[in-house]
A = this chain, B = another copy of it.
C-alpha cells in the first residue's frame, strides 16, 4: 500500500514485462516499420551477429512466382536498416530473412496468418488503402457464431458482419455471402480482406448500402478455421482433400437458411449476393448456377469454372444447362474480375468466351496484377457499391 506511483510503475515494468512475454532482451527501443511522410518506409532489425538481413515483401518487384527481396545495411550499433521507395497506398505484408531464416519483425505486433504463414502487415494511406483502416465512422459488429449444417452433419463456425445500426433499427437488410479461396477459412476475409473496415467505410461514404456480410468456411471437411475447431492444431494446408467433392456448394443452402432464420434480412433474390475469390469464386458461380432463384448478384473474383471434368459432385453435373437456366431466370449483376497476370487468366477468358457464346450477360473488370489479396480487396471495394441498388 505504501508503494509510490513511480515504484509501482517500475515494478509493473520490470516484473510484468518479463512475466507477460514482453521482449526483455532487446536493449535499444527501435521502431519498425516507420512510415515516413512521403510514404517511404524504414524497417529496422537488431541483429549484431547476423551476416545478412533481407526483407521479403509484396511491395518489392517479384522474382518469378516468389516475392521480391531487398538487402538491409548494418550500422555501427548492429542495427540493420532498409528504407523502401515511396509506396503506393496499399496493405503490404512482409517477413525478414536473417541469414536465410524467415522471421517476423519483432517490433511490429501486427501480423496476419495466410494459410500457414504468418506475415507482418502495415498500411500505406493517402489512397485506396485508407478504406482498409479503421476510421472514426460508425462501426458494424463482427460476430463468430456456430450454425447447424444438416447437409454436412456438422456444427460450423461462421463470421458475420452486421452493419452499423443493425441492432437498434427495425429495418431489414440485404446480405452478401462472401467466400474465401483455397487455404482460407471464415477468418480470411476479415483478416486479409479487411472486410469490416471496407464495408464500414463504404457505408459511411454512402457508396454502399448497409448490408450483412456472411463469411463462411468453404472447406466442407472443416467445422471451423484451424485452431478454432476441435481438430488438432496442425499446420493449415492449402488444398483440402475433398476440394472437388461439391459438398461446400451442396451444403450452402444450410447457411442461407440459418442467416434468414436468425437475422433481420430481406429474403428475396434481389437482396442476396454471393461472391468469392479463387476457389471461392468457383463456389459462388457453382452455387448461384445451382440455385438460380436465390442470388440477384454474383461476384467471381480471380476465378472461373475450375472443377476437373471428372468431378463427381452433383453440383457440377449438367453445368452448361444450369448456366442457361440461370441466364433465363435472370439476375441483377454477374460480375467477373481478374488480374491480367493471374495464373487463372486463361481459364477466366475461356469461361467468359463460353458465357459470350450463350449470351449470358455479365460485367467484366480486368485489373493489373495477379492472384493477390491486393486485388481481392480492390474487387470487394468495387463490387459492394454495385449491390442492392
Contact = CB atoms under 8 A, between A and B. Distances in A.
A142 interface: yes
A30 to B, nearest CB: 10
Given A66-B24, A347-B1, A109 B235 contact: yes
Given A109-B118, A227-B110, A16 B236 contact: no
Contact of A167 (B236, B262, B278): B262
Contacts of A115: 17, 20-22
A13 B311 contact: no
A36 interface: no
Contacts of A18: 64-67
A139 interface: yes
B371 A15 contact: yes
Nearest to A10: B239
Interface in A337-367: 343, 347, 350-351, 354
Given A118-B111, A235-B107, A351-B1, A16 B181 contact: yes
A134 B230 contact: yes
Interface string A34-50: 00000000000001111
Nearest to A11: B343
A17 B65 CA distance: 9
Contacts of A104: 103-104, 118
A235 B106 CA distance: 10
A80 to B, nearest CB: 11
A329 interface: no
B146 A143 contact: no
B4 A238 contact: no
A239 B113 contact: no
Contact of A106 (B99, B102, B136): B102
Interface stretch (A265-273, A302-310, A379-387): A302-310
Given A144-B142, A350-B1, A102 B13 contact: no
Interface in A218-240: 224, 226-230, 233-236, 238-239
A79 B15 CA distance: 35
Interface string A277-309: 010000000000000000000000000111011
16 contacts: A1-B350, A13-B238, A21-B117, A22-B115, A23-B117, A47-B101, A50-B101, A108-B235, A110-B226, A118-B118, A133-B230, A134-B229, A134-B230, A141-B146, A143-B144, A168-B262
- CB-based closest 5 A-B pairs: A5-B308, A18-B65, A21-B114, A103-B103, A15-B343
